Amino acid sequence: MKGKIFAFTAFLLVFAALAVSYAHAAVFDVSIDRVKVNNAVVVPYNQNSIKDNSTFEVLVEFTAITDLNDAHVEAILKELKTGNVVADASPNFNLQTNASSSRLLSLTLLNNMNSSSSFELTVRISDKKGNSVEKQYGIELPPRSAQAPIQ
């Protein structure tokens, strides 16, 4: 009988410890509401036509479903032909539950990317603990040659 009581007590202690650690674990939940590239709304997981440009202003609008602590927004633009990448990130910020905000990031193509017309844009919101949410957007520019000036 003592063995059963001991086993049951040990089970309850382990269960209580797990419940407390789970209750204190921070949940990371944020919604990427809308992304604009050069003032044009882009749709995730689709090809989006954007006016020809060598600089992309990426506006990320988002809502914190739970408190965000030491979070930041990243935009990564990858050229699909070569895999070359340019990126920008915001400074860290905090945001309360149900609050909405936005961050403007700027991506400038490298010289060897100027003749490309197909890109993948990744927008990621992450915190200092490594939790993250991201969406990808296909970006298509009008065809251009390496010699053509960018306006």
46 in Cβ contact with 137 (< 8 Å)? yes
Calculate ∠ Cα 142-37-107, nearest 5°.
Answer: 90
Q: Which residues of 82-101 are buried (b: 16+ CB within 10 A; e: fewer)?
A: eeeebebebeeeebeeeeeb
Summarize pLDDT for 125-149 with one digit per residue, the tens: 999 999 999 999 999 998 765 444 4
C-alpha 15/C-alpha 27 separation (Å) is 20
* Confidence (pLDDT) at 151: 47
Q: What is residue 45's three-state secondary structure?
A: coil
Q: Is the pLDDT of residue 107 over 50?
A: yes
C-alpha 111/C-alpha 106 separation (Å) is 16
Would you list the DSSP string of 83-112? --EEEEEPPPEEE-TT-EEEEEEEEE--GG
- Under DSSP, the state recorded for 113 is G
Whose tokens are 């296909």? That residue is 138
Q: Is the pLDDT of residue 5 over 70?
A: no
Q: What is residue 15's three-state secondary structure?
A: helix
pTM for this prediction = 0.78
Summarize pLDDT for 73-105 with one digit per residue, the tens: 999 999 999 999 999 999 999 999 999 999 999
